[in-house]
Each structure stands twice: as C-alpha cells, then as structure tokens.
Amino acid sequence: MKAYERLLEYVVIKTPSCEANASSTPSSSCQFDLAYVLADEMKELGLSDVYVSDKCYVYGKLPATSGYENIACIGFIAHMDTVEEFTEAAIHPVLHENYDGNDVILGESGRVIDVKTFPHLPDLKGRTLITTDGNTVLGADDKAGIAEILTMIEELIHNDIPHGPIAVAFTPDEEIGSGAEDLDLARFGAKYAYTLDGDTEGEIQFENFNACSATFDITGLSVHPGDSKDKMINASLVAMEINGMLPGAEIPRNTEMYEGFYHLTDMKGDCGKAELHYIVRDHDASRFASRKETLKHIEKIMNEKWGAGTVKLTLKDQYKNMSEIIQDGNMHLIDHAKKACELAGIVPIVSPIRGGTDGCQLSYRGLPCPNLGTGGHGFHGPYEHITVEGMDLVVKMLVELVKLNM
C-alpha cells in the first residue's frame, strides 16, 4: 500500500485532542478509534509486541533481520491527534491530479489555497495534491507521519531489506503539548528516535524554542468614577501599561529563524480585575532567561507604582531546546538524516523549529529525538495540503535512514 492510501484511510477517522480536558490522557476518547486501527494494521504487517496502552499510546517492534540483532534500536514516532479547530464536519480528502501550480479552489467552501500565501505551491506542479473540501483540517499533521512510518516498515519487509531492530510508537495529545509525557521509554526500547512531524520533505530539525507561559493577574481598586480621584486603580489600564512595557518589535509577526518573542495569546478584564496571558519563546537559553527577568522586572515596577499585590506574575516552564542533547554526542542522527535525504534524491533542509515538538521532551527524558518533515504544508487549518509524491520521497528517505543505521 502506498503512503497516501494509508493517509486517506486515517484522516477520515476524526481524532481532535481537547485542551479543556488536558489533565486526562488521552484528552479525547476518539483517539482510541485510530489507535486500534493502527494496532491491527501493525499486526498484519508483522510487527511484534504490538500494544495499545490505557493512555492511548500504540507500540510495536520490527525485529532485526538475522545477523543484525546487536545493532542499536532506532525508533520512529508520530502523533495521532489533530487540532480541535475545523473538525466539526466530516473530513473529505480531495485529490488534485497533475496539479498546475496555481491557486487551489477548495470545493464550495469559499476558501482558496493561494500562491501568494503559500509561495511553495508552484514547486508542486505536476504532482498529485491532496487537500480537503475546505471545511475541515486534512489531518496530515500528523497522520502523514504515521502513514509514512508504516509504509517504510512494509517496504523493509516486502523487499527483504536487512535492518537492525526498529521501534514504532504513535502518541496522543501532541497538539496540546502532552504527547510525550507518558510514552513508556522502556517499552519503546529504542536508543534514539526520530519524530515524523515536520513540514516539507527533507526538513531536519534539532533546534527548538525554550518555552514558558507567563500570566499577569492584576487586582485593581474599583470605585465610583465620580469619586475616584487618587483612589481608582483600573486593572485593565494597568494591563495595557504592562503590555506597553514589552519590546513592541519582539512579537511573532516581526520575528523569524532564531529570533525569540513575547506573544500575547489572550486577555480579559474590567476595572477591578484583569489578566494577560503570554507565551515566551527563544532558542538561546541566556536570552530566554533574560526574557523571564524582564517580565519579573515589570511585575516589580508595577507593584512599586500601584501598590504591593496589584500585579502577580506566574511563569511556567514548558520545554527546552533539544539542541543541547543532540549536539552532545548525537549529531550522527543529523548526519544520517542528511545523507538519507541525499540518497533519496531530496535536498536536506536543516532548520530551527519555531515551536516545540515531542522530540524535545523525549530528548530530555533520555531519548535523543530530532524531527523530520512529512511533506505537508499549511497545518492547523482548512488550507492543509500534501502531495502523493512528497510522501513517497519521505518513505524512500526513511528506508535509507534505516540502512544507514546498520
């Protein structure tokens, strides 16, 4: 079976994770629907030790071919969940054969994947493009990764390609940041692994943001506006003042590559109470620490100005840059991925992740785990798309990667 054929089967099984239920794993029971389908398929392919945990993690192993049992076990990981947004309707994948490289009209939805917004589209001319009808996400993030991993396994088996031991795992809840937390590394059994959760084929990523959340809780003093002289402290105005103290150019819209930012995700408030919620990101650990110190300094200044207890800052670390782990004795993973791309006829693209990945958490748990591209684009919305040929190239690259692990 081709990778895209698997993808078409997987995407119609809706698996949105649920932020509101993030304290439970999985956050949505629908993820089990795909988990059991994958487990059955893995058994049919010939994987051993196939297991679905009570937290919706799917495990399996491909034993080494004879004579290669002592080679270090390599792992491949992808996630089963999708974002919650644009998942209300049934998912209808659409194939555009011999795509002409121009704007793509998505059915009768009124949406268009346009070249201005997605300038890579002309590079896909002549391929078979896969989209939705414009009403939902496609789910290639990350069901394309799942399809490519299992297709790679099938090719190794059916073509009698010698290989060492291979571990496979499919995780829940990556989209809400908890997909790696309960992965049983002992059961998984790999010495190192790759996540298949990136974009363009050939993408290789081992540098991600250091990340934290920041919340300012502001307590004002609400009195009648007609009698408020030297009394009122308007919490909403204090919130505006706090945001105004942050460097205005250091926001996502104005930054790229290794540049960090402060991102105001949401806010609410009135005269008496207000809240500001930020995510804070930077690749460099020292600059990241400085960003947190800036926020603490703002809290201090505001309380000195408006009175102790007016402003309370809460910082919560989320994940760290995995580059420290990869560069400390694990750069062969990147070298192998680059070589595998070249052998598959793909130009390797080593780039930083302007976000996080399951691999960063797993790397700090003791499983070095860079991220690889799946060939998809436009994730997290109705403009998501991928190509049949791009998925085929990723499968070819994965086969070459396994060979390099010999």
Cα 391 from Cα 201, distance rounded (Å): 8
Enumerate the H helices of 307-387 as residue ranges: 323-327, 332-343, 358-364
Where does 132-189 show beta strands of DSSP type E?
Answer: 166-171
Cα 324 from Cα 322, distance rounded (Å): 5
Residue 81 designated active-site = yes
Which residues, including other chains, have CB under 8 Å from residue 77's CB and lie 6 or more apart?
Answer: 168, 169, 170, 171, 183, 193, 194, 195, 196, 358, 359, 362, 369
Active-site residue identified among 174, 199, 207, 299: 174
Contact 293, 214 (CB under 8 A): no
Q: Phi, psi at residue 156, to the nearest 5°?
A: -60, -45
Tokens of 5: 């054929």
SS3 38: helix
Cα→Cα distances 79→23, 157, 332, 343, 364, Å: 18, 23, 24, 26, 19
Residue 207 designated active-site = no
Tokens of 43: 């058994």
Q: What is the DSSP string of 252-313?
A: GGG--TT--EEEEEEEEE-SSEEEEEEEEEESSHHHHHHHHHHHHHHHHHHHHHH-TTSEEE
Cα 336 from Cα 194, distance rounded (Å): 11
Active-site residue identified among 81, 154, 384, 392: 81
Contact 76, 164 (CB under 8 A): no
Pairing of strands 166-171, 74-79: parallel
* Residues labelled catalytic: 81, 174
